[in-house]
Amino acid sequence: MGDGPTAERQRTEVRGRVGVTYHQARARRIAEESVRKEATAKNRPADLINIALEKVVGTGPELPPFST
């Protein structure tokens, strides 16, 4: 099942209603900067992940997809 034009239009509409933007590179940059800054004071991965998520969500871009 492919991602057709209808799926993209729906994602765009949902993003508009929710007030997020799709800017993967910006979200990654924000997360990386916040982790680097906080890593000097905190060393638990869970803390660093939570800080990065808080910063990314607070600035408004959509989170990048999760991959393993």
What is the 3 state secondary structure string of the chain? CCCCHHHHHHHHHHHHHHCCECCHHHHHHHHHHHHHHHCCCCCCHHHHHHHHHHHHHHHCECCCCCCC
Task: Please tell me the distance from the alpha carbon of residue 37 to that of residue 32, in angstroms, as a whole number.
Answer: 9
Per-residue pLDDT tens over the stretch 37-57: 999 888 899 999 999 888 887
The model's confidence at residue 15, banded by pLDDT at 50, 70 and 90, is confident
What's the whole-model pTM score?
A: 0.59
Calculate what percentage of the chain has a pLDDT beyond 90: 19
pLDDT of the residue at 66 = 56
Task: Please tell me the distance from the alpha carbon of residue 39 to that of residue 1, in angstroms, as a whole number.
Answer: 41
Domain ranges within the chain, ordered by starting residue: 5-59
Average pLDDT in the 4-13 region?
Answer: 84
Average pLDDT in the 15-34 region?
Answer: 84
